[in-house]
Amino acid sequence: MWYACPVLLLIAFILEPKLVWSYIKTIWKQIVVSPVSGLIQALINLVGLPFVSIGLIFKAWIYRKFGQINQQIQPEDFEEKFTSYEDVEMTKPNPQNVKKVQLADSRYDDLFE
């Protein structure tokens, strides 16, 4: 797998170059912000480079696939439609018909009346 890493990274770069550069910049920013954890992250990525490159290819393919879908569906393609509505007259309930419910704990009842 190690011999295939340059080819896999090249495929990921061809599919979506912004994604690969963004991944490298993210690792670099982590090194700048926190050198110890950034170097550990870079070391882990270096050890797992075959899997990282396969993941980048998969991510670039998904990004490209959804990017094409996103380009097909543009917000200006949709027409603005308004739904007609009906005014409904609200009536207040008759206080004589409403039953009061007594709760077991009525310490705060006087606050709401």
DSSP assignment letter at 44: H
Residue with tokens 């910049």, as numbered in its chain: 25
State the pLDDT at residue 18: 85
Q: Where are the beta strands (DSSP E) in the chain?
A: none
Residue 103, domain member (yes or no):
no
Residue 101, domain member (yes or no):
no
Residue 46, domain member (yes or no):
yes
How confident is the model over 18-27, as pLDDT tens digits?
888 888 899 9
Task: Read off the pLDDT band of 29 (50, 70, 90).
Answer: very high
Residue 15, domain member (yes or no):
yes
User: 3-state class of 102 per DSSP?
Assistant: coil
Residue 109, domain member (yes or no):
no
Nearest residue to 4 (alpha-carbon basis) of 51, 61, 62, 58: 51
How confident is the model over 51-106, as pLDDT tens digits?
999 998 888 888 887 775 455 555 555 566 677 777 777 777 666 655 555 555 66
Residue 105, domain member (yes or no):
no
Determine the structural domain holding residue 12 and report its residue range. Answer: 2-73
Residue 51, domain member (yes or no):
yes
Number of domains in the chain: 1
**Residues 1/50, Cβ–Cβ less than 8 Å:** yes
Range 46-51, long-range pairs (CB < 8 A, 24+ positions): 49/2, 49/5, 50/1, 50/2, 50/4, 50/5, 50/8
Structure-block tokens of residue 28: 């670099």
**Residues 16/62, Cβ–Cβ less than 8 Å:** no
